[in-house]
Amino acid sequence: MRLLAEGLSARRGEDLIFNDISFALSAGEALVVTGPNGSGKSTLLRVLAGLLIAESGSLKLENGPPEMRHPSEISHYLGHRNAMKRELTVAENLSFWKDFMGDSQGGAGKGLAEAVEAVGLPGIAHLPFGYLSAGQQRRMAMAKLLVAYRPIWILDEPTAALDAGADKLFAGLVNAHLDRGGIVVAATHQPLGLERTRELRMTGFAGVGGGMWHDA
């Protein structure tokens, strides 16, 4: 499986946010998108997740499932918002997403208890999501990545609101996903402690190329 982006550019309203971004990611590789605030990291991730239509360029998946229309169908997207309901318990939230999303072919999601264990918060799945602290909420949102299998993970500032221990735990989860042949695209300000990463540095739109990328 190979994720190919060629000459992507995106616009919000009148302004071009970034221009001519290209990269290629094979199974087991991670792309870390860095750059100052407003340089278009989140916009790029939303384009990759199919939530924003690219102004130009193409996004392709080689050797993906044949009936797939857009790579977003086999992607997880963890945005700034956790996509969990405050009124429902953590277990209800996770089991809903597990049922609703289902597994992409080639893998199986973890069980609820196992996923909650993996993010280091066993024993609080019966609480309403709204009762948890910001960091706990973020961790439970990560558990969502585990309950339904998706080969591609698109993560927008995944470690915001997390303590140092949770950072390490999260790096472990992402590395395990990469070991299984997954692809990860993450926007971040902090180093994530990942192996095998490539870096895409967004420089903000300055008229010429919107970003450059190199192996870290």
Partner 1 sequence: MIALFFRDLKLSIRAGGGAMIGVLFFMTVVAVIPFGVGPDLNLLARIGPAILWIGALLASLLGLDRLFQAEREDGSLDLMLMQETPLLVTVFVKCAAHWAATGLPLVIAAPLLGLFMNMDELAIGATMLTLLVGTPAITLIGAVGAAVAVSLPRGGLLVSILVLPLAIPVLIFGVSAVYAAIEDPAPFLPPLMILMAITLFFAVIGPVAAAAALRHASD
Residue numbers at the binding site for partner 1 (CB under 8 A): 12, 46, 49-52, 68, 72-73, 75, 77, 79-88, 92, 95-97, 99-101
- For helices 164-179 and 134-147, the axis angle rounded to 10 degrees is 10
Task: Output the smallest distance, CB 190 to partner 1, in A.
Answer: 21
Query: Least Å distance between CB 76 and partner 1?
Result: 8
In this complex, which beta carbon is closest to partner 1, that of residue 144 or of residue 194? 144
CA dihedral 93, 127, 162, 181 (to 10 degrees): -40
Yes or no: say if 179 and 172 are a contact pair by the CB < 8 Å rule.
no
Q: Which is nearer to partner 1, 69 or 214 (CB)?
A: 69
Q: Which is nearer to partner 1, 98 or 110 (CB)?
A: 98
For 177-195, b/e burial (b = at least 16 CB within 10 A) is bbeeebbbbbbbeeebebe
Q: Are 198 and 34 a contacting pair, CB within 8 Å? A: no
> In the complex, what is the shortest distance from the CB of residue 116 to partner 1, in angstroms, rounded to a whole number?
18
- Quick one: 111 or 193, whose CB is closer to partner 1? 111
Please report how close the Cβ of residue 196 comes to partner 1 at its closest, in angstroms: 25
